[in-house]
Chains A and B, each alone.
Chain A
Amino acid sequence: MDGCYGQVLKIDLNTRQWRVEEVPEDIQQTYLGGKGLATHLLLENNPAGVDPLAPENTLIFATGPATGSAVWGGCRYGVYTKSPQTGFYAESYSGGKVPEAIAATGYDAVLIQGACAAPTVLAIYPDRVDFHDAGDLWGQDTYASEDAVLARFRRDDAGYKRPGAVVIGPAAEKGIRFALIKNDRWRSAGRTGVGAVLGAKRVKGILFQGDRQRPLHDGEAVRALAKNLVKEGKDNPGVKAYKAMGTSQMVKIMNAAKAFPTRYWSRGTCPHWEEIGADALHTRCEVEPHACLKCFMACGRMSRVKEGPHAGLTIEGPEYETIYAFGGLCMIDSIEGIIYLNDICDRLGMDTITAGNLCAFTIEAVRRGKVNFAVDYGDVDGVAALLRLIAAREGLGAVLAEGLRHAAARWDLEDIAVHVKGMEPAGYDPRPLKGMGLAYATSDRGACHLRTTFYKPELSGMIDPGQVEGKAELFIDFEDRLTLFDTLILCRFYRDLYPWEALREMLKALTGIDEDIAGLRQRAAAIATLTRRFNIREGLTSQDDRLPRQLHRRLEDSEQVVTEEEIHTMVQDYYRLRGWDAQGSP
Chain B
Amino acid sequence: MQVQVKLYGTLGKQVPGYDHRQGLAVEVAEGANVADLMARIGVPLKKIGMVSLDGRLAGREASLQANMLVKVFHPIFGG
A–B interface present (Cβ within 8 A): no
